[in-house]
């Protein structure tokens, strides 16, 4: 094993190590736990940054560990892998700071932070997975690591949510496992290759289509594709940092990322199209986009509205990939990053409102902008990004998706984007109006702080809000998600 | 090689005469068996399967021992699980003292039987001929029944009696089958039988009777009715060994007969029937585990379900080509992983019962929140039992799924999927209450010694570790065909 091969391992283990140590720490060792968490997160950011810099120069590292009969654990640092790895590493650091502030003084923090770290390791592992088998292993680990976070509060409602969550995600995992076993018997162990590895002659089209349905169905559960999305609105009962991580980075992204891998790197968009599966997948994504938005309109509970918004927004990624063509693929991949940063901002803000003022419902938010201007400013940026208003990152995504749709002669995509933009506006603008322009209806609890909230609850959303703006403003500079997505999409889909 | 069955037998005699030497015997006995296994395993690894005739008498009438890769795998499993359970038992009985500090009289009966059981297991996994296998099976079964009865309460005695009757019936059926073979060929040596057995009604009849007897001992649905009572009522360390190892003994002999003695035969019809019973067992055992009210009963029903997987795999082994090989590796992988995981789960369940005075699932969260190491042990063992990565249980299941995809056995694939789902249900029945915020739980009746919790954790970690050790075990997993005479 070359020294370079240690880098992908280090990226995965930088979160796992602290997680295991924290599991054995007594509840009272707050200082040490915080140091371990932040050290792991910083180390991970460092390693992933290094890998991204190397990948930009065209260097990729691989690690192969033999596992069982013709399958191996394979980690590799291709550009697509680093898209998700970079997002997770950066947002994990921010979420860790946020979580430390959010959970101050609550019980079971050792348990929480140890599963929290495990969850990030699993995300990194599935980001760097170089074959379907490795992806599956980390995909299931992610399920196990997130369950204790979802039920963390231990109320009856959390436990019920946990049951729903586990049922859905394990069913998805099973579909994926069966599809993968079948595919392995047809085509041998499948490694991800830009452009896909399967050919038309691998098996009869019906078999290939069924396997595709199993794989995408398995991924679709975590990605929240309708009708497999049922767990998502329920699971938002989890503490805010968990929701932020689940909705922006870990779980839904794992699903969406898996769909990208299967469509572009296992089957290849050309085969998916010739099997007649691309258009149904694009339509499914479209239905999800509109359904999620419509359901979001009807929610008064802020986090639930955000959850339905996630269902809708994550489907953009699937839509972009299913449309095919370099431009649409690029739009979808960009949104993997853009949606993550914008959505995490919104959840950070929702958590700060709940933690500082006890505000959970939109109807309670009247005048909250005056009491917490920084938080609401960040929320506003995130919300405008979701609507797709220029110059936010969300606008860039929609622009390229629209162009891509026209490019593959599916002009209806533009209509879908416009309609969903309108719906997004319909469910986000009222929130902004209530928060900024309505007079407060009640006395806010006294804070006793110089700042509007604990600094650990305020700084992360401000940082991500600025990032969401910068990703839009500086989209054409070489460091943006757009440029990275362009690099990937040209590997995946011939322009 | 001869030390493997003889050493535990000697220790059994020793602790019978000098009960106060039990601690010393536990350390020396376990270490000695491990060393003997390492030596035998080394020989098998370098020179292939080894035969050994005790006292130089060739079989028959002498006693022939046979060690091949399959034996070594199961002996290894026995050493690890029995070893962990032995140290667990030291802690377990230390807590059962009367107010004056005198040891529990039941402990006196326990240790000799315990070592007898271990001797029986080792002898069975080394059995090279049909009659020795019978003797080992009988020693094993009688020790096991007596160990269930050691618990001493009415429930345990009833379960032990039922176990005894089923066990005797099973042994008799097996012996009848062996007698049929002997009458036909005048041979008892398995390798010679493998060459001599001719297709015909006598041979099929013998196999049918042998199989019926062994299926009773292995508790395949619908012959499993005795298992939940016996395994859940037995003392803590005994449950672990019964579920982890003793039921595997019958399975091991079934593999020997079906795929070695009758190896070249067209057995697909018979295995398909056994596989179907396995499929029912998976579903029935899981559903019963979901309905169980006591932790140890839940774990026992889980064994009924997990044995079902082994027999599904059993049916796949008779498939030709790739599917057969995958099925074979899957079967052995599941057998080993289940032994470790179930051993860990039962030791942990025993700790809960020992510490809280009962193992009712109602209120189990209060007990578990005070036993974090045990909770971790159950969680890890449970993940392997469900078959989630990266555990040994997952590797076994993955191999089976591939074999089923290869032979297009979609119905069985659906059974595995359903079984996985149900297993998640019964494992999480135990784990979910841990997360439930409750009032301050009542303190435990007794704080368990560290050795009990750690032994359970070690076995659970080993079950997870099996997931990473596949490349090490793979070379040992092919070739159920024993050596020629």
What is the DSSP annotation of A219-252? HHHHHT-TTS-THHHHHTTS-HHHHHHHHHTSHH
Contact B390 A137 (CB under 8 A): yes
Inform me whether the C-beta atom of residue B432 falls under 8 Å from chain A C-beta atoms.
yes
Asked if the model's pLDDT at residue A490 lies above 90, the reply is no
CA-closest candidate to residue B455, choices B76, B90, B74, B36: B90
Nearest CA in chain B to A167: B421
- Restricting to B residues 170-229, those with a Cβ less than 8 Å away from any Cβ of A are none
User: CA-CA distance, A107 to B110, in Å (whole number)?
Assistant: 43
Measuring CA to CA, which residue among B412, B395, B240, B216 is closest to residue B319? B412
Shortest distance between the Cα of A174 and any Cα of chain B, in A, equals 7
Q: How confident is the model at residue A435 (pLDDT cuts 50, 70, 90)?
A: very high
A424, part of any domain: yes
Flag whether residue B439 sits within 8 Å of chain A, measured between CB atoms: no
Contact A69 B326 (CB under 8 A): yes
Q: Is A364 helix (H, G, I), strand (E, B) or coil?
A: helix
Interior CA angle at B453 toward B449 and B457, to 5°?
A: 160
Residue A344 pLDDT: 95
Alpha carbons within 13 A on the beta-carbon side of B47: 8
What gap in Å lies between CA A385 and CA A432, rounded to an integer? 13
Which pLDDT belongs to residue A444? 79
Q: What is the distance between the alpha carbons of residues B91 and B210, in angstroms, rounded to a whole number?
A: 39
Dihedral over Cα of A217, A221, A223, A226: its sign: positive
Name the domain count of chain A: 1
* Residues in CB range of B280: below 8 A, 6 or more apart: B221, B222, B308
B435–A181 CB contact, under 8 Å: no
Q: Cβ contacts (< 8 Å) between A140 and chain B: which residues?
A: 388-389
Is the minimum CB–CB distance between B413 and chain A shorter than 8 Å? yes
CB A79 within 8 Å of CB B485: no
Strand partners, A129: A75
R_g of chain B computed on alpha carbons? 21
Q: Count Cβ atoms within 10 A of the Cβ of residue A360 and give its class: 0-12 exposed, 13-18 middle, 19 or more buried.
A: middle
- B93, B102, B103, B452 from B99: Cα distances, Å: 14, 8, 10, 22
- The pTM score is 0.94
Assess if residue A1 is contained within a domain: no
**What percentage of residues in chain A have a pLDDT greater than 70?**
99
B427 close to A (CB below 8 A): no
Beta carbons of A262 and A272 less than 8 angstroms apart: no
Strands (E), A128-278: none
Look at residue A322 and tell me whether its pLDDT is greater than 90.
yes
Residue A152 and residue B435: Cβ atoms within 8 Å? yes
| CB contact B388 to A (< 8 Å) | yes
The two tokens of residue A94 are: 């921010």
- B85 contact A CB<8A: no
Average pLDDT over residues A84-103: 93
Distances (CA, A) of A103 to A38, A110, A113, B291, B386: 15, 11, 10, 37, 32
CA distance B209 to B270: 13
Task: Nearest chain A residue to B398 by CA: give it.
Answer: A181
3-state secondary structure at position B64: strand
- Identify the closest residue of chain B to A111 by CA–CA distance: B435
Tens digit of pLDDT for each residue in A184-241? 999 888 899 988 888 888 888 999 999 999 999 999 999 999 899 999 999 988 899 9
B399 interaction partners in chain A (CB closer than 8 Å): 68-69
- The CA R_g of chain A, rounded to the nearest whole Å, is 21
Considering only CB atoms, B329 lies closest to which of A69, A137, A159, namely A69
Do the domain assignments include residue A10?
Answer: yes
Contact B435 A66 (CB under 8 A): no
Which residue would you say has higher pLDDT here, A373 or A453? A373
Q: What per-residue confidence (pLDDT) applies to B200? A: 84
Residues B25, B28, B34, B39, CA torsion sign: negative
Per-residue pLDDT of chain B (485 residues; tens, 9 = 90+): 888 999 999 999 999 999 888 899 999 999 999 999 999 998 888 888 888 877 777 766 667 889 998 999 999 999 999 999 999 999 999 876 666 667 788 888 999 999 999 999 999 999 988 988 999 999 999 999 999 999 889 999 999 999 999 999 999 999 999 999 999 888 888 888 888 888 888 899 999 999 999 999 999 999 999 999 999 999 999 999 999 999 999 999 999 999 998 887 777 788 889 999 999 999 999 999 999 999 999 999 999 999 999 999 988 988 888 888 899 999 999 999 999 999 999 999 999 999 998 899 988 998 998 999 999 999 999 999 999 998 999 999 999 999 999 998 899 999 999 999 999 999 999 999 998 877 777 888 889 999 999 999 999 999 999 998 888 888 777 767 777 76
Are residues B401 and A178, on separate chains, in Cβ contact within 8 Å? yes
Q: What is the pLDDT of residue A384?
A: 94
Instruction: Give the number of beta-carbon pairs within 8 Å between A and B.
Output: 76
Sign of CA dihedral B443, B448, B449, B453: negative
Residue A289 corresponds to which tokens in the numbers above? 């986009």
Please list every residue in chain A whose beta carbon sits closer than 8 Å to the beta carbon of residue B424.
166, 170
Residues of A in contact with B405 (CB under 8 A): 178, 181-182, 184-185
Enter the tokens of residue A448. Answer: 């006793």
Quote the pLDDT of residue B101.
67
DSSP annotation string for B87-154: HHHHHHHHT-B-TT-PBPHHHHHHHHHHHHHHHHHHHHHTB-BHHHHHHHHHHHHHHHHHHHHHT-SH
Strand pairing partners for A74?
A: A64
Q: Which residues of A touch B (CB under 8 A)?
A: 66-69, 71, 136-137, 140-141, 143-144, 148, 151-156, 158-159, 162-163, 166, 170-171, 173-174, 177-178, 181-182, 184-185
Q: What share of chain B is helix, strand, coil (3-state, %, to 5)?
A: 80, 5, 20
B437 touches chain A (CB under 8 A): yes
How far is the CA of A91 from the CAs of A1, A135, A276, in angstroms? 30, 21, 37
- To probe the interface with A, which of B319, B389, B391 has the most A CB atoms within 10 Å? B389
What pLDDT, on a 0 to 100 scale, did the predictor assign at position B59?
61
Q: Chain A contact for B466, CB < 8 A?
A: no
The whole-angstrom separation of Cα B40 and Cα B35 is 9
Domain that residue A140 falls in: 6-493
Please, which residues have CB within 8 angstroms of residue B313's CB and are 6 or more apart in sequence? B327, B328, B330, B331, B334, B396, B400, B403
pLDDT band at residue A23, thresholds of 50, 70 and 90?
confident
- Helices A455-473 + A79-102 axis angle, to 10: 150
Our CA-based measurement puts residue B283 at a distance from the nearest CA of chain A, in whole angstroms, of: 17
Domain-located, residue A431: yes
**Encoding tokens for residue B99?**
């107010």
Q: What is the mean pLDDT of residues A26-45?
A: 89
Return d(Cα A481, Cα A331) in angstroms, integer. 10
**DSSP single-letter state for residue A161:** H
Q: Supply the pLDDT for residue B99.
A: 63
How far is C-alpha A330 from the geometric centre of its chain's CA atoms?
Answer: 16
pLDDT at B231: 93
Mean of all residue pLDDT scores within chain A: 90
Cβ of B470 within 8 Å of Cβ of A69? The answer is yes
pLDDT surpassing 70 at residue A495: no
Secondary structure (DSSP) of B241-287: HIIIIIHHHHHHHHHHIIIIITTTS--HHHHHHHHHHHHHHHHHHHH
Phi/psi of residue B294, nearest 5 degrees: -120, 145
The span from the CA of A345 to the CA of A80, in Å, is 23
Are B383 and A144 within 8 A, CB to CB?
Answer: yes
3-state helix, strand, coil in chain A (%, to 5): 75, 5, 20
Q: Is B284 exposed, middle or buried (0-12, 13-18, 19+ CB in 10 A)?
A: middle
Q: Using a CB-CB distance cutoff of 8 angstroms, which residues of chain A are in contact with residue B437?
A: 153-155
Cβ–Cβ below 8 Å for A66 and B390: no
The per-residue pLDDT for A447 is 67
Quote the tokens at residue A14.
């930088």
Q: What's the confidence (pLDDT) of residue A109?
A: 87
List the single best residue of B324, B393, B398, B475 to mutate versus A (max A Cβ within 10 A): B398
Please say if the pLDDT value at position A274 is more than 70.
yes
Sign of CA dihedral A453, A455, A460, A465: positive
Residue of chain B with shortest Cα separation from A72: B471
Nearest to A281 by CA among A295, A260, A299, A298: A260
Backbone region of residue B67 per phi and psi (left: phi > 0; alpha: psi in -120 to 50; beta: other values)? beta
> Which chain B residue has its CA at the smallest distance from A108's CA?
B435
Q: How far apart are CA B291 and CA B297, in angstroms?
A: 10
**CA closest to B412 among chain A residues:** A178
Least Cα separation, residue A38 to chain B (angstroms): 25
DSSP state at residue A359: -
Chain centre to alpha carbon of residue A139: 13
CB of B421 within 8 Å of a chain A CB? The answer is: yes
State how far residue B389 is from chain A, nearest Cα, in angstroms: 5
With 0-12 CB in 10 A as exposed, 13-18 as middle and 19+ as buried, what is B320? exposed
Residue B329 touches chain A, beta carbons under 8 Å:
yes
Of A155, A181, A182, the CB nearest to B398: A181
- Token pair 């070739």: residue: B479
Q: In chain A, which residues have their Cβ closer than 8 Å to the Cβ of B402?
A: 69, 181, 184-185
- Looking at CA atoms only, how far is residue B94 from chain A in angstroms? 27
Q: B452: which residues sit within 8 A by CB, 6+ positions away?
A: B88, B91, B92, B236, B347, B350, B351, B354
Q: How far is CA A331 from the centre of its chain?
A: 15
Which chain A residue lies closest to B417 (C-alpha atoms)?
A174
Parallel, antiparallel, or unpaired for β A62-68 and A71-76?
antiparallel
Predicted confidence at residue A5, as pLDDT, reads 79
Give the model's pLDDT for residue B276.
94
Task: Work out the minimum CA distance from B467 to partner chain A, whole angstroms.
Answer: 8
Confidence of residue A30 (pLDDT cuts 50, 70, 90): confident
CA distance B151 to chain A (A): 35
Q: Are B464 and B395 in contact (CB under 8 A)?
A: no
DSSP B66: E
B402 to chain A: closest CA residue: A181
């Amino acid at each position: 094993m070359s020294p370079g091969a240690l880098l992908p391992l280090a990226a995965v283990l930088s979160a796992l190590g602290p997680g295991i140590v924290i599991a054995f720490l007594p509840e009272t060792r707050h200082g040490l736990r915080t140091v371990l968490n932040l050290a792991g997160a910083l180390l991970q950011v460092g390693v992933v940054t290094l890998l991204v810099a190397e990948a930009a120069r065209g260097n990729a590292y691989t690690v192969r560990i033999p596992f069982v009969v013709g399958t191996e654990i394979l980690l590799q640092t291709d550009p697509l892998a680093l898209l998700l790895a970079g997002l997770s590493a950066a947002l994990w650091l921010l979420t860790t700071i946020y979580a430390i502030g959010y959970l101050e003084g609550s019980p079971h923090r050792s348990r929480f932070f140890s599963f929290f770290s495990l969850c990030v390791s699993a995300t990194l592992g599935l980001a760097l997975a170089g074959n379907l088998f490795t992806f599956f292993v980390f995909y299931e680990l992610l399920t196990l690591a997130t369950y204790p976070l979802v039920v963390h509060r231990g109320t009856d409602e959390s436990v019920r949510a946990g049951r729903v969550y586990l049922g859905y995600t394990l069913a998805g995992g099973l579909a994926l496992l069966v599809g993968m076993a079948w595919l392995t018997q047809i085509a041998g162990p499948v490694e991800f290759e830009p452009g896909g590895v399967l050919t038309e002659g691998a098996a009869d089209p019906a078999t290939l289509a069924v396997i595709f349905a199993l794989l995408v169905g398995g991924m679709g559960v975590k990605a929240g594709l309708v009708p497999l999305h049922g767990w998502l609105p329920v699971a938002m009962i989890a503490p805010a940092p968990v929701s932020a991580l689940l909705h922006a980075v870990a779980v839904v992204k794992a699903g969406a990322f898996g769909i990208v891998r299967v469509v572009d790197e296992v089957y290849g968009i050309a085969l998916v199209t010739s099997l007649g599966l691309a258009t149904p997948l694009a339509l499914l994504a479209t239905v999800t986009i509109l359904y999620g938005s419509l359901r979001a309109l009807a929610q008064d509970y802020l986090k639930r509205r955000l959850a339905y918004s996630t269902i809708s927004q994550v489907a953009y990624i699937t839509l972009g990939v299913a449309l095919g063509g370099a431009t649409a693929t690029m739009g979808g991949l960009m949104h993997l990053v853009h949606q993550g940063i914008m959505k995490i901002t919104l959840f950070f803000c929702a958590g700060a409102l709940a933690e500082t003022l006890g505000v959970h419902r939109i109807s309670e938010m009247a005048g909250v902008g005056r009491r917490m201007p920084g938080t609401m400013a960040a929320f506003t940026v995130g919300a405008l990004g979701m609507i797709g208003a220029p110059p936010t990152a969300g606008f860039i995504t929609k622009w390229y998706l629209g162009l891509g749709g026209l490019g593959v002669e599916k002009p209806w995509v533009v209509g879908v984007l416009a309609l969903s933009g309108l719906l997004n506006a319909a469910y986000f603008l009222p929130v902004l109006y209530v928060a900024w322009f309505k007079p407060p209806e009640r006395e806010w609890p006294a804070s006793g702080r110089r700042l509007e909230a604990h600094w650990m609850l305020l700084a992360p959303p401000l940082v991500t809000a600025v990032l969401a703006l910068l990703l839009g403003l500086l989209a054409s500079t070489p460091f943006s998600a757009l440029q990275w997505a362009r690099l990937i999409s040209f590997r995946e889909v011939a322009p | 090689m001869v030390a493997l069955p003889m050493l535990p037998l000697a220790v059994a005699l020793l602790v019978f005469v000098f009960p106060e030497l039990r601690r010393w015997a536990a350390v020396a006995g376990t270490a000695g068996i491990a060393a003997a296994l390492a030596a035998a395993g080394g020989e098998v690894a370098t020179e292939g399967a080894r035969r050994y005739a005790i006292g130089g008498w060739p079989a028959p009438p002498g006693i022939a021992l046979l060690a091949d890769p399959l034996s070594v795998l199961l002996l290894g499993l026995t050493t690890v699980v029995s070893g962990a359970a032995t140290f667990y038992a030291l802690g377990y009985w230390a807590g059962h003292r009367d107010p004056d500090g005198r040891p529990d009289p039941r402990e006196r009966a326990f240790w000799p039987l315990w070592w007898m059981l271990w001797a029986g297991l080792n002898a069975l996994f080394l059995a090279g001929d049909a009659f020795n296998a019978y003797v080992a099976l009988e020693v094993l079964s009688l020790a096991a029944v007596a160990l269930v009865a050691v618990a001493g309460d009415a429930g345990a005695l009833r379960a032990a009696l039922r176990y005894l009757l089923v066990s005797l019936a099973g042994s008799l059926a097996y012996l009848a089958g062996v007698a049929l073979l002997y009458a036909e060929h005048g041979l008892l040596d398995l390798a010679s039988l493998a060459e001599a057995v001719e297709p015909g009604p006598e041979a099929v009849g013998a196999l049918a009777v042998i199989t019926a007897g062994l299926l009773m001992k292995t508790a395949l649905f619908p012959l499993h009715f005795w298992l939940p009572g016996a395994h859940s009522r037995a003392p803590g360390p005994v449950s672990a060994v019964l579920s982890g190892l003793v039921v595997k003994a019958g399975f091991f002999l079934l593999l020997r007969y079906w795929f070695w003695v009758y190896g070249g035969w067209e057995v697909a019809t018979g295995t398909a029937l056994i596989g179907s019973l396995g499929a029912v067992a998976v579903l029935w055992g899981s559903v019963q585990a979901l309905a169980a009210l006591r932790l140890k009963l839940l774990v026992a029903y889980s064994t009924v379900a997990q044995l079902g997987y082994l027999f599904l795999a059993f049916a796949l082994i008779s498939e030709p080509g790739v599917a057969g090989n995958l099925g074979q590796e899957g079967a052995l992988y599941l057998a080993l992983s289940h032994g470790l995981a179930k051993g860990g789960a039962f030791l942990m369940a025993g700790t809960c019962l020992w510490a809280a005075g009962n193992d009712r699932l109602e209120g189990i969260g209060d007990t578990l929140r005070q036993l974090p190491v045990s909770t971790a042990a159950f969680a890890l063992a449970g993940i392997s039992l469900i078959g989630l990565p990266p555990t040994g249980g997952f590797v076994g299941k993955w191999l089976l799924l591939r074999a089923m995809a290869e032979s297009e056995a979609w119905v069985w694939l659906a059974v595995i999927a359903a079984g996985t789902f149900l297993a998640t249900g019964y494992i999480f029945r135990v784990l979910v209450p841990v997360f439930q915020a409750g009032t301050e739980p009542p303190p435990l009746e007794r704080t368990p010694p560290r050795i009990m919790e750690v032994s359970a954790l070690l076995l659970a970690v080993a079950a997870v570790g099996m997931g990473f050790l596949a490349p090490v075990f793979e070379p040992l997993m092919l070739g159920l065909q024993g050596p020629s005479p």
